Every structure is written in C-alpha cells, then in structure tokens.
Chain A
C-alpha cells in the first residue's frame, strides 16, 4: 500500500501545475481587492443562491424521475432492457455543446416541440437533468439490484406490501448509492459552466458564469477569486461526501440478489412504461431532436465536404488520442495511489470543482510562453479527462476481494506481476468505461479549447461554436449538422468501448 502511494506524485504534479498553481496565481493577482464584502452584495448573493437552488432542484427532480426508472431496471426483465441500460449511458459521453444544442432544438427558437423555454429556469434544469438523470439511475439501479433478496422477502412475509417494502427496505438499502449519485449531481450542477452559459441566459446563469464575466470582461479579479473560493469550498464538501460514500459502497454485500422477473399485472407494466417514457423524454429526446433537425437541414450537409471540417475532424481525433493516452497514465497512477484514501479520492474531483475560467486565465498568467502550445492544450484536456479513469478504476480495484491478491502473492506473483496479471484484468471493464468517458470529455471540450487553442488546431467543437457565432441560416444549419456529427462521434467512441465490455461480460457469464 505504501509503495503505491508514491504514484500519487504523478497526478499531484499535474493537479498542482495545471490547476492549483494557476488558480493561486490568479488569486494573488486579485489579492489586493479580495474581501468577504461580496457576500453582502445582493447580486452575488442571488447568483450563489440560484446556483445552489438549481443544483438542489436538479437533485430533487433526478430523484423523482430517476427512482422509478432505476427500480424498474433493477427488478424487471424485459426485451430491450440491455439497450435501455446502454442508451442511458449516452448522455454521459455527449459534449456540453451538443447537449445545449439538443435542448435548444427542443425548446429553443423553432424548436421541435414548439414550446419556448427560453428565459425560464426550466431550460437549464432540463439540460441538467439530461446529464444527471442517467447518473442517478445507474447508481440507484445498482443499489436496488445488489440488495439481498432475503431482506425483501422477509419484509414481505412480515406483512409489508410492495409499496411499503420499497419505502422501508429497498430505498434505505439503496440509500448509499443514491446519496453518492446525488453528491455527484450536486457537484456537477453547482459548478456547472457550459450548460449554464448557453441555457441560463442573463438571469439563470450560475455563479461559475458570473466568475467568467467578472474575469473575462470586467477584470474584477478580487470578487472573482472570492466567488471561485466559495464554489471550491462547497463543491469540495460534496466531493468529500462522495469519496466517503464510495468507501462504504466498496464493501462487498452478503447474500443473493433478487433475480429480475418479467413484469406481471397492469401496475408493473404501467411502471415499466413510465420508466421508458421518462428515459426517452429526459435522456434521449435532445439527441433525437438534433438528429431530426439535422435531417431536414438539407443543403447544410454540404458543409461536410468543406476541407475545414475534415481538418477539424483530424484535429479532434489527434487531440482526443493524445489526451486519452495522457489520461490513462495519470488515471492509472491516481487510481492505484488513491485506493482507500478519502483525501486522494476527493482530490480526483478537483478538476471539476475549480472554475475553468479562473484556471484558464491563471494558466495564461503563469505560463505566458505556452499560451498557445500543444503541451498546455493536451495537458488541460488530460486534466479534465483523467479523473474519469482514476475514479472508475479505483472503485473497481477496491471491489477486488482481499483474498485474490493474497492468493496470487502466495502463488509467486511479485507486486508488479500481480498488478499486471490480476488487478488490471479484473479492473479492465472499469478502465474501458473510464476511457470512454475520458475520450468523450476530450472530444467535447470547448471552454479550455476556446482559451488555449490556435486556429489551425480547430476542433469540431470550436468549429461549431464559430459557426454559431456567424449570421445566416446556413451557418446555423451547418452548426446543427456538425453537432450531429459530433454526437455520432461520441456515440462511436462509446460503442467501441462499451460494446466490447458487454460482450466480454456476457461470455464470462455463460
């Protein structure tokens, strides 16, 4: 254990050089004007309060909609269940820009639904749900599925109806899973930037957007630093809670799980239909809307013949591959180092808890010579992508029963051989999934790209952003077509990695 802790130096160096130091540098710049007075400004108070409220509201809505879906997925066996589980993963890998475009394609101007959601808080909440509902569903589903069957049966025979069993046994049993997902949902929503920037408008933007405005337009570094520290403190608490819960979840559960069964009776069929309907409405509709509108874009498809698009595609592929390689190195190091350490586990969340704008400006201040260099760009991608690998892998390593490595050691495996022949193969599914998320993050990243990139490094996301910023229907439509392309790419990355995983597991199960 001690020797693996040394590995932490690698990700710590990355975190320090690309996140901690730049932030500190920016704060030092604004230190003269840093004061707690910002808390008395009603405008900032409203921003903080709204950020908090929208994050909590997303948590509540995700619970309301997510629990029935998770329960149905955990208890029912039905044709297409596996597909539904896979489709639930799609929003995770969707770039922010695509998600925002999707929401606007539904509820924006000329939206598919005809409902105009602009200038209401619902647009942001819907966007938040699109990303975070699957998170809660996956986690709660696992919690429900792993609950020992005997507990549920005992409760039934003691006189509890299925409804009462849900409230008194199943929900409390799955609570650690649900809570850990809620921590993540809160963390992502509270520190959310991209979605809030595009969907929040002037009134419903989050504090992270306010920091962006303060730094980029008003050069008010004092207030920006104060707000960034507040965000860091609150998200840090959520991350700490999550890391703590993860340790509980890593304990193996005793007892056989309840086998899934085909739904019986109209009530169960109604619940299943509700679950599928909710999934379609909240997790798939925005993607379908993009595809639908892109389908009717007609002439805009000619944009694909543009060499600029092909260049952007090549860049996207190149950067994604480089970032993925970096993310694997740092992710593996951090995962092996952070096993059973709450502190190191919490640190893996630092890249999300930090204000990307503060970090980007801090990077400019700290490394002006590298402002438009590939090292910095790939470094920033890696920073944002590697925690996905680190966290998934660490959870998977923690779940390996202690006697397996013990057996391997007595059979003559050195620690390195043990890692290579036992731990990595056991954690391979988690590694693959982490890589899918990391690739998707690199694929869809645009906040940092806008700051650090050069025109000849145009990626698909910056190209979309650029097209969105030009007048004329043609540009808007081609942005839509490119979003559709980006969506397909994200799906491809997801399919390549996720499908293999499922097949491997099926083969193992037979």
Chain B
C-alpha cells in the first residue's frame, strides 16, 4: 500500500532521511522506532504531505503522492499533544474530518456519536476539550482519526504524554481497534515496548537510515548489528555478537565468574559479572536469586554457564 522510495531530507547539514525506503502493507501496523531527534516525525509529516521531500518518492496504492495535497490523501495523523481543536467541543472535533469531506452535518454527528461510544466516551458530546483527562483526550483524537476511515493512520508518539499505566492500557486497546477496522498504520515511537506491543513489523531508524526492518520476533532472533541489538533491549552486546539473557545461567558446576556489582531491584537484582575478560549483565528474580544469596557479594566468585549455541553473530 504505502511505499516510501529512497526519500532524502536534510536539515541544517544533518540527514533526517537518507535514501530511506519503507513499505506498509494493507492492514499492517508498522512501527518506526528510533531515538529522539532521529527524524521519525519528519518522515511521518512527509508521508502526510506536510513537509516537502528533498529527493525520492512516496507512493500509495501505486500512485505518486508528490502532487497530492495533505487534505486529499485521506490519511489521518495523531499527535503527541492530541491536537484537539480547543474552540470546538468533543463532538465537533470528531465531526471535523467528516464535515471537511462534505458529509452532511446530521449524518456526521451520528457517525461521530457512534464512534465515541466505541472508544468508551458516550455522552461526552458537548464537553469542552479543555476539561478532558489525558486518556480521554487521546481517545477523542483516535475517534476523530478513525471516523473518517482513513486509508492510512499515522501516529506520532501518541502515548508519550500519558502516564505509564494508562499508556499500557491504551496501547493494547488502540492496537485492537486499529486491527479490528483493518486500517494500515504507521506508528512513530522511541519506546521499544510500545513498538513491540503494537506493531506487526518494526523499522529501526538511525541517522536517517533504516537499520533493520523485521517482525518483532525476527528482530529479537537476529538483530542486524550492535546498535540495533542494544536499542531493542539486549544487555549483553559486543562489536560482533549479541547474547539473549536466556543463554546465561548461574550454576555451581560452571566456570567461575567474578561479581563486579550487585544492584537490588524491586523484582530481584541485577548482576554484573566478568568471565575471561568478558562482562555479562544478568537479571535474577527474587526466587532465582534466593539459592545464591549467601554466595553473592561484590568481589565474590560464582559459577556462570554461557550457552554458546545462543550467540547471535552480526554479519
């Protein structure tokens, strides 16, 4: 469906996108994951038609979008700050896109009320948007985006201004709703848990290039390089390899390793161990840690088994 083809964009001598290519299939949710300030939002705005490209092309269903203005693309964009219109009430915010697309007002209201009910905001019609909580505001924003049945939903860090608990709830809820409608979506985020929770595929963006694009399982099985491995959460990463934590185990019979640091955590502890000049990070739950409690102390020695078959070598 969406095809981003060798798009380039520079801003003050820095590449925000450098011959970047990406596709989003029908009904697919793709997450664009990368550190803050790597140009993710700019790419989203280029796709929405709000920023010009320096080079390359963006196509949807085979049609080049270069000359299509944003309002004619039938995409919807959701923002971190929700971008609700403060001078309109909840219902009129949701109606906005329908009215712009020439739907008669009564019909638009009807559709808006229906979708508000599905996001759990029935009866919020005449509320001023300034009185909504963060979660409510983001639900209104989602309703406003979905009600127009966009060909593509673009989400720009949609949950980052919400608190941790609400974020988890809404990620699951929004993911289901988008999938239920069969809408293609491109999600921009710097939060890997969000990407893994919602996306069918994840594209990792770094310095204007896609470093890797794969399913969440594929990424975990084979990160392309050390940067990718670190970014998606591997703790034991070297120049040439990464090691899943499942490959590390404390065992009395295994070769000795020295305990460098011990950090107690709410759900257990974090150990930094060294063996043969190599440093490993290991998380233990309270239950896993209890048999070793007597032996574990900074400077002490414990047995560490490393599953050599689990090493992931970078090409």
> What residues make up the interface of A, taking CB atoms closer than 8 Å to B?
148, 150-151, 153-162, 164, 168-169, 172-173, 175, 254-255, 264
Contact = CB atoms under 8 A, between A and B. Distances in A.
A72 B145 CA distance: 29
Nearest to A175: B87
A157 B48 contact: yes
14 contacts: A150-B80, A153-B79, A155-B85, A155-B96, A157-B70, A158-B71, A158-B148, A159-B100, A160-B100, A164-B100, A168-B85, A168-B96, A169-B85, A173-B87
B139 interface: no
B111 to A, nearest CB: 14
Contacts of A153: 45, 48, 50, 70, 77, 79, 83
Q: Which of A158, A161, A168 has the most CB of B within 10 A?
A: A158
A157 B85 contact: no
B192 interface: no
B97 A158 contact: yes
B100 A154 contact: no
B87 A156 contact: no
B121 to A, nearest CB: 18
Contact of B87 (A157, A164, A172, A264): A172
B140 to A, nearest CB: 12
A159 B50 CA distance: 12
B6 interface: no
A158 B49 contact: no
Interface in B60-103: 69-83, 85-87, 96-97, 100-101
Contact of B154 (A150, A151, A157, A173): A157
B72 to A, nearest CB: 8
Interface string B96-128: 110011000000000000000000000000000
B206 interface: no
A236 to B, nearest CB: 28
Contacts of B76: 157-158
B96 A157 contact: no
Interface in B37-64: 45, 48-50, 52
In the A-B complex, the 7 residue pairs with the smallest Cβ-Cβ separation, listed nearest first, are A158-B97, A150-B83, A159-B100, A156-B70, A154-B83, A150-B79, A172-B87
B81 A255 contact: yes
B100 A158 contact: yes
Contacts of A161: 69, 71
Contacts of B96: 155, 158, 160, 168
B283 interface: no
A255 B83 CA distance: 9
Nearest to B86: A173
Contacts of B81: 148, 150, 254-255
A172 B129 CA distance: 15
B144 interface: yes
A207 B51 CA distance: 53
B48 A156 contact: yes
Nearest to A176: B87
A264 B144 CA distance: 30
A219 B83 CA distance: 61
Given A156-B70, A157-B75, 20 more contacts: A148-B81, A148-B83, A150-B80, A153-B45, A154-B77, A156-B49, A156-B69, A157-B49, A157-B70, A158-B76, A158-B96, A158-B97, A158-B144, A159-B74, A160-B96, A161-B69, A164-B71, A172-B87, A173-B87, A254-B81
Contact of A151 (B72, B78, B85, B148): B85
The SS class assigned to the A binding surface is helix
A175 B86 CA distance: 12
Given A157-B48, A161-B69, A172 B85 contact: yes
B149 to A, nearest CB: 12
A150 B83 CA distance: 5
A154 B138 CA distance: 13
B77 A157 contact: yes
B78 to A, nearest CB: 8
A168 B85 CA distance: 9
A161 B73 CA distance: 11
B231 to A, nearest CB: 25
Contacts of A151: 83, 85
A169 B154 CA distance: 20
A169 B108 CA distance: 19
Contacts of A255: 81, 83
Contacts of B74: 159
Contacts of B45: 153
B69 A157 contact: no
B57 to A, nearest CB: 18
A254 B137 CA distance: 15
B48 to A, nearest CB: 5
Contact of A159 (B52, B83, B86, B148): B148
A157 B80 CA distance: 15
A172 B87 CA distance: 7
Contacts of A159: 71-72, 74, 97, 100-101, 148
A174 to B, nearest CB: 11
Contacts of B77: 153-154, 157
A254 B86 CA distance: 12
A360 to B, nearest CB: 45
A151 B80 CA distance: 11
Contacts of A169: 85
Contacts of A172: 85, 87
A334 B27 CA distance: 62
Contacts of A148: 81, 83
Contacts of A254: 81
Contacts of B100: 155, 158-160, 164, 168
Nearest to A173: B87
A150 B144 CA distance: 14
Contacts of A158: 71, 76, 96-97, 100, 144-145, 148
A439 to B, nearest CB: 39
Interface in B247-267: none
